[in-house]
Amino acid sequence: MKTVLLSTLLLLSQTLFAQPITEFSIEFSEDCLNTPVSFSLIGINYNTDNNSLVLYEVIDGKENPIPCQIETGHSARLWFLLNGETKKGTVREFLLKAEEKPANTNTSITLKRDHKDLSLQKGENLILKYRHAVTFPPEGIDPLYKRSGYIHPLSSPGGKVLTRIQAPDHYHHYGIWGPWTKTHIDDRSVDFWNLKEGQGTVKFAGFLSESEGAIYSGFKALQQHIDFGARGEDQIAMNEILDVRAWNIGEDVWMVDYTTSLNSPLKNGIMLDAYRYGGGIGFRATESWHKDNCTVLTSDGKTRVDADGSYARWCLVEGQSDVDEGRSGILFMSHPSNRMHPEPMRVWPLDANGGRGDMYFEFVPIRHDDWQLKPKQTYTLKYRMLIFDGELDAETAEKYWNSFASIPKTNLN
C-alpha cells in the first residue's frame, strides 16, 4: 500500500513540477562543428521564481538533459551547444520543460576583473584580457599613443600569447581592436586609428553587463570614439557597444564572438572613408611570427602572397608556437550580415616592416567603398574567432564558419 502511495505521489509531483512547455526539432542545412544554437522564448514565461527551464534532447525516445542558458533582452533566447560534428540534413529533437529545481548553471568560463583588466578564463587557463584602464606608451614615447578598450593578451589553449601591443614600428597597434582610420565629420577629417595625429581616439567608458553561464560567459562594454577637433570641448563621434563572449565548447579550443555596434550622436552622422585600414576587427600578431614561420589561408584559397585586398568568409592565420603541437592559430570568421560580406581584408605582405614580414590581419568593411553612418542609427558587425594549437585545415574551417553563419531550421512539433 505504501509503495502504491509513493508511486502515486511521485507521478503527481512529476506532473506538477516537470511540465512540458514545448517540443521542437532542429534541422541542419550544412555540416557544422561545435555549434551554439538558440531557441526563441517569445510567448514563454521564463521569469518565474519557482521553476527553471530545463532542456532535453530526445534520442531514441530517451530524454537526455543538456545544459542551456537564457539570454534576456528585447527578444529572449535559450542558448545551448551541440558539441562535435553535426552533418548536413541531420534533424535533432528537443523538449523544453519547467521544473522545480535549479537550472544547470555550472560555469566553466569565468570572468575576473581588477583595476586594469577584465579576464575570461577556462578554469585556470587564460583566454583573453580586455583592458579597461588606460595604457600609456613606454617612457619617451608621445603620450598621444595612450588608449584603453582593447583585447590583449589573447592566449591559445596551450598558453601561447598570440597578440602584441605598442610594437615600436606601430605604437598605435593594440592586440585585437577596431578603430576607424580615415573618416569625415562634415568637412573635417578625423583619424581615430593613428593616435599620434592627435585628431581622435577610442576609450573605454564603462561595462554595460557581465554574464557567466554554462554555455557562454562574456561582457558588453561601451567604447567612445572621441573627436578632438570639434569646436569647444571634445565630442563623441560614435558610441560603440562591444559584445565579447566565449563559448564553452571544450578544453582544446577557444571560440570567441566579437560583435561591435556603432551609433553616432552627431547631427549629420559620420562618413567612414574607403581605406585599407579601419574598423571591423584588427589583429597584430605576436612578435615571434614573421614571413618564415607564419601562414595565411582564406576561404577563397588565397595566402599571404595574394590575400591583401581580397574578399573572404574566413581567414586562417597560423604560426610557429612553443606549445607541444608546435603551431598555434586563429580562424577569423566574418558573418554574412556584415557590410561587404564576403569581407575585404588587410593582410600584411611578406615584405612588411622592412622585409621581416610581421603579421597583421584585419577584416575591413570600408576597404573599397565609403560607409555613411546616419545619425541615431545602429550598425553592427559580427565576427567569431576560433583559437587553437596545432593546425586547422580548410574543410574544418568551413564547418566552423557554417556553425557561425547558417541558422539551423527550427520546427515546433
CATH number of 2-105: 2.60.40
How confident is the model over 70-77, as a mean pLDDT?
A: 92
Which residue, among 154, 208, 205, has the nearest Cα to 388 in the 3D structure?
Answer: 154
Per-residue confidence band for 2, with pLDDT thresholds at 50, 70 and 90: very low
Per-residue confidence band for 231, with pLDDT thresholds at 50, 70 and 90: confident
Instruction: Say what the pTM is.
Output: 0.94
Annotated domain spans of the chain = 2-105, 109-409
Decide if pLDDT at 11 tops 70. no
Instruction: Give the SS3 label for residue 344.
Output: strand
Whether 2-105 and 109-409 share one fold: the answer is no
pLDDT at 48: 80
Name 142's Cβ contacts closer than 8 Å, sequence gap at least 6.
171, 196
Per-residue confidence band for 103, with pLDDT thresholds at 50, 70 and 90: low
CATH number of 109-409: 2.70.98
Give the integer Cα–Cα distance in Å for 87 and 106. 28
Instruction: Give the SS3 label for residue 307.
Output: coil
Eight-state DSSP code of residue 161: B
pLDDT at 300: 98
pLDDT in tens, 307-324: 999 999 999 999 999 999
Decide if pLDDT at 275 tops 60. yes
Q: Got the DSSP string for 102-157? A: ------SEEEEE-SSEEEEEETTEEEEEEE-SPBPPPTTS-GGG-B--EEEEEB-T
